[in-house]
Amino acid sequence: MSSRASSHVVSCASSHACDVLVVGGGIIGLTAAWRALEAGANVVVLDPAPGDGATHAAAGMLAPVMEAGFGEEAQTRLGTASLALWPEFADALERAAGLPAGAVGLETAGTLALAYDGDDLVALRRILALHRDLGLGSVEITPAEARRREPGVGPRVAGAAWVPGDHQVDPRAVHAALAVVTARATHVPRAAVSLTWADGAVVGVLDDAGTAYSAGTVVLAAGHASAALFAGAPTRPVPGTTLRLDAAADRSPAVVVRGTVQGRPVYVVPRRVRPDGRRELVVGATSDERDDNHLTRAGDVFALLRDARALLPELDDAVLLGAITRARPGSPDNAPLLGRAADGLYLATGHHRNGILLTPLTAAAVDEALGAAPPGPPGSPGGPEVRAAVEAATRYADPLRFAVADRAAPHSTTPHSTTPHSTTPRTERGGTA
């Protein structure tokens, strides 16, 4: 990717040719575009509705701890590695965008986990045992201690834990900052309809207006829609709904609160307090295996509010601003696809439930692929910890892992493949999320 990025600088606007063409302008696509621009590449971003995908609905929890699942230790390590990169990433982005420190809303105050009833507490204790095994630092606390941290915790809550390792950022603010720092790229409000292949390599993209673009490298970052352009990116839509509430600061939590209510997960993410003494709260989230139609079901709004107010009854006083439903980019094993999938094709997709968390690690992986982050001293963007994290991530998130699985599967198909050659991964599986 590095030689292609630096050797062929042509005006994208005039000739439809460029070094790096990014398909998708969500948080991941714009992050890739920013890093490519920083590497000196001439960049085009294709997206008919930039920022209106999963990024628009995301709560922005940076939660490698509470998202840790049994048997998913490698993914947890990916998340903790990316979380460690967030402060530097947020700083660099705010500086590059000319924004004040803190503008993207990174908060590192920890998370309060609540269990509504006795069964929820049993489940929470199982999770805390996993956290202990993985050294993630969570501790059980009593409901009274939980109420000392968050006075709004309801009277019926059966148990609680303090999770110092999980934080939050505002995804829409991050996306807005990325839009500023990528303003010098060429943004085309069209959808890509196919990749263009020549001699087994991706050499460009065709858009829905019939315009052909040639590119040294195509970065496929179309979220759940990536599979429609390349069968070796077996993404699927996993729609989820979040609600936006507006509440008085003293009648809403100050830190992220998440819990289970009779087995159903729910969370409340508080944004910063505004000068008028109020704040936005994000309540989420549902998760379904169905088409992405952006439609919010009434029952989902009801269920989210019912469960959120079971944990934090004072939410009854908040104003309901709206509900948003968008689809996460799921992958067969719920881990991202990050890396080169063919000559001229780099995948940055499949980030599923943790794309906001994994944004800085994605940036570092793109930097590595572009040769944009030369080795540096410990603590710097090119430092040994970052490089080790990126190396582990690119091994774990290697898009070709599905190609290996596919070779073992005798009856796999290529339903959406636009790939003329059989060396690329060809798998479509689903339903593991």
Ligand X SMILES: Cc1cc2nc3c(=O)[nH]c(=O)nc-3n(C[C@H](O)[C@H](O)[C@H](O)COP(=O)(O)OP(=O)(O)OC[C@H]3O[C@@H](n4cnc5c(N)ncnc54)[C@H](O)[C@@H]3O)c2cc1C
Helices 171-181 and 73-97, interaxial angle, to 10°? 50
**Among 92-100, 107-115, 121-129, 344-352, which window interacts with ligand X (CB under 6 A)?**
344-352
Contacts of 268 (CB under 8 A, 6+ apart): 252, 253, 256, 257, 258, 281, 282, 283, 308, 311, 312, 315
Determine contact, residues 230/222, Cβ cutoff 8 Å.
no
Tokens found for residue 40: 């000196």
Determine contact, residues 278/246, Cβ cutoff 8 Å.
yes
Distance CA 120, CA 356 (A): 27
**Among 46-54, 105-113, 153-161, 415-423, which window interacts with ligand X (CB under 6 A)?**
46-54
Does 381 contact ligand X by CB under 6 A? no
**Among 134-142, 158-166, 220-228, 312-320, which window interacts with ligand X (CB under 6 A)?**
220-228
Distance CA 378, CA 372 (A): 17
Q: Could you give the string, one character per residue 58-87, with x where binding to ligand X holds by CB under 6 A and - elsewhere? A: xxxx--------------------------
What is the distance of C-alpha 286 from the center of its chain? 16
Question: Which residue from 17, 37, 47, 393 is in contact with ligand X, where contact means CB under 6 A?
Answer: 47
Does 227 contact ligand X by CB under 6 A? no
List binders of ligand X among 281-320 (CB under 6 A).
284-285
Does 186 contact ligand X by CB under 6 A? no
Determine contact, residues 234/242, Cβ cutoff 8 Å.
no
Question: Which residue from 42, 217, 242, 424 is in contact with ligand X, where contact means CB under 6 A?
Answer: 242
Does 245 contact ligand X by CB under 6 A? no
List binders of ligand X among 84-113 (CB under 6 A).
none
**Among 50-58, 68-76, 91-99, 416-424, which window interacts with ligand X (CB under 6 A)?**
50-58
Tokens found for residue 185: 């790229």
Question: Which residue from 32, 36, 37, 55 is in contact with ligand X, where contact means CB under 6 A?
Answer: 55
Distance CA 339, CA 351 (A): 13
Q: How far is the CB of 365 from ligand X (least distance, A)?
A: 13
Question: Which residue from 11, 15, 49, 375 is in contact with ligand X, where contact means CB under 6 A?
Answer: 49
- The residue among 68, 30, 264 whose CA lies nearest residue 166 is 68
Q: How far is the CB of 410 from ligand X (least distance, A)?
A: 31
List binders of ligand X among 134-173 (CB under 6 A).
none
Distance CA 396, CA 412 (A): 22
Determine contact, residues 17/212, Cβ cutoff 8 Å.
no
Instruction: Please report where in the chains the tokens 């986990």 appear, as a residue.
Output: 113
Q: Could you give the string, one character per residue 323-342, with x where binding to ligand X holds by CB under 6 A and - elsewhere? A: ---x-xx-------------
* Residue 85 burial (CB count, 10 A): 21
**Among 9-17, 124-132, 298-306, 348-356, which window interacts with ligand X (CB under 6 A)?**
348-356
Does 259 contact ligand X by CB under 6 A? no
If the CB atoms of residues 29 and 253 are measured against ligand X, the closer one turns out to be 29
If the CB atoms of residues 138 and 286 are measured against ligand X, the closer one turns out to be 286
What is the distance of C-alpha 203 from the center of its chain? 27
Contact footprint for ligand X (CB under 6 A):
23-29, 46-55, 57-61, 191-192, 221-223, 225, 240, 242, 284-285, 326, 328-329, 349, 351-357
